[in-house]
A and B are shown apart, each in its own frame.
Chain A
């Protein structure tokens, strides 16, 4: 096909679109940021719904089903990042859908170079492995940071309640995982050895009838505390381990552990300062992992985490216990 005549056609199309948009009172720029994703099929879009932590009410879920029946093809897509999407929606219905979503206190998600909807596991509310309340923090982070323009590329955040890390914090631009530091009260310990059995890291062994912890192996999962029958092994402190600079996609990058045992408030502070740093230091459409790789992790640590006074993870040796190896680390 000859490219030359396409231009007037395109202009006509744009004018058409503008007219249509005015008629429907739509702002297409807003829509582009708002999780309406263009499909292969002409005029059809996928509506991505905002489901922080994968949590929706049954009323909202019923509304999604209803909207899919009326404006889509009677199907929804459950995405890898915990969203519910309604495919095959004609753009003429955007306004109606937005209105209907508001009626159940719901809205669409984001796409583009913005902070995305954060994901999270069930956390400590009903999962026996959970150490931290991922859901509460995820909802609050969504409230405070969702949709923030980064100036460069997408920015993904997730929360895992424990070191099993079901929510893959290593693949996030900034990921948060629950950690627990155990402490032994030697006077209470009866030397039963159940904590040694419970520790999958081989970080505990009995010496003179008491468990001794090898810090180079302990991944702060808290299993020793959860099993101790006499409450001799207790939680000295709990908090979040943060990982920065991860991503998935065509060129996956595993994130670095950057700080540990930070509080909810420090999570907000770290997000805020990391986003400001990324905005300032990032180039073009690079993800923050590329910015960190280009400038060096040390620069990120000095300008972000250490300047916030957080407890940093400083050495490769300290990070070593958190991964198993593989071709990413040649």
Chain B
């Protein structure tokens, strides 16, 4: 997966992590995939919910070491 479709949001606080995610998703076409890495805690509580609210689809939630998660997202329609 190219760096264009990956976003490492470790250490980025809410709601800026969501803003980064949203901006990157807007660059993609509907149906394209994006991978984001999120810290556990507040980011994992908030970002997935915002994704769903705006019509994107979370395909995978994979725990990684050191308290963070890798999410695979499919961009929703506009």
What separation, in Å, do the CA atoms of A193 and B58 have in the docked complex? 12
Find out whether the CB atom of A226 lies under 8 angstroms from the CB atom of B58.
no
Find out whether the CB atom of B61 lies under 8 angstroms from the CB atom of A227.
no
- Chain A 109-132, CB-CB to B under 8 Å as 1, else 0, gives 000000000000000000010000
**B4 to nearest A CB, angstroms?**
23
- Chain B 20-43, CB-CB to A under 8 Å as 1, else 0, gives 000000000000000000001000
Find out whether the CB atom of A226 lies under 8 angstroms from the CB atom of B61.
no
Find out whether the CB atom of A226 lies under 8 angstroms from the CB atom of B45.
no
What separation, in Å, do the CA atoms of A128 and B61 have in the docked complex? 23
Find out whether the CB atom of B61 lies under 8 angstroms from the CB atom of A192.
yes
Q: Does residue A75 face the partner (Cβ distance < 8 Å to B)? A: no
**A230 to nearest B CB, angstroms?**
8
Find out whether the CB atom of B58 lies under 8 angstroms from the CB atom of A192.
yes
User: Knowing A226-B52, A226-B53, A228-B52 touch, does A198 contact B61 (C-beta < 8 A)?
Assistant: no
Residues of B within 8 A of A (CB-CB), count: 13
**B77 to nearest A CB, angstroms?**
16
**B33 to nearest A CB, angstroms?**
14
Q: Does residue A197 face the partner (Cβ distance < 8 Å to B)? A: yes
Query: A223's closest neighbor in chain B, by CB?
Result: B49
User: Knowing A198-B48, A229-B48 touch, does A128 contact B58 (C-beta < 8 A)?
Assistant: no
Find out whether the CB atom of B45 lies under 8 angstroms from the CB atom of A229.
no
Q: Does residue B9 face the partner (Cβ distance < 8 Å to A)? A: no
Q: Does residue A194 face the partner (Cβ distance < 8 Å to B)? A: yes
Find out whether the CB atom of A194 lies under 8 angstroms from the CB atom of B53.
no
What separation, in Å, do the CA atoms of A115 and B58 have in the docked complex? 48
Find out whether the CB atom of B61 lies under 8 angstroms from the CB atom of A193.
yes
- Chain A 184-202, CB-CB to B under 8 Å as 1, else 0, gives 0000000011100110100
Contacts of A226 in B (CB 8 A): 49, 52-53
What separation, in Å, do the CA atoms of A194 and B52 have in the docked complex? 12
New A-B pairs, 15, CB < 8 Å, besides A194-B58, A226-B52: A128-B53, A192-B61, A194-B44, A194-B61, A197-B44, A197-B45, A198-B48, A198-B49, A200-B45, A227-B48, A227-B49, A228-B52, A229-B48, A229-B57, A229-B61
Interface positions of B (Cβ within 8 A of A): 40, 44-45, 48-49, 51-53, 57-61
Interface positions of A (Cβ within 8 A of B): 128, 192-194, 197-198, 200, 223, 226-229
Q: List 30 A-B contacts (CB under 8 A).
A: A128-B49, A128-B53, A192-B58, A192-B60, A192-B61, A193-B61, A194-B44, A194-B48, A194-B58, A194-B61, A197-B40, A197-B44, A197-B45, A197-B48, A198-B45, A198-B48, A198-B49, A200-B45, A223-B45, A223-B49, A226-B49, A226-B52, A227-B49, A228-B52, A229-B48, A229-B51, A229-B52, A229-B57, A229-B58, A229-B59
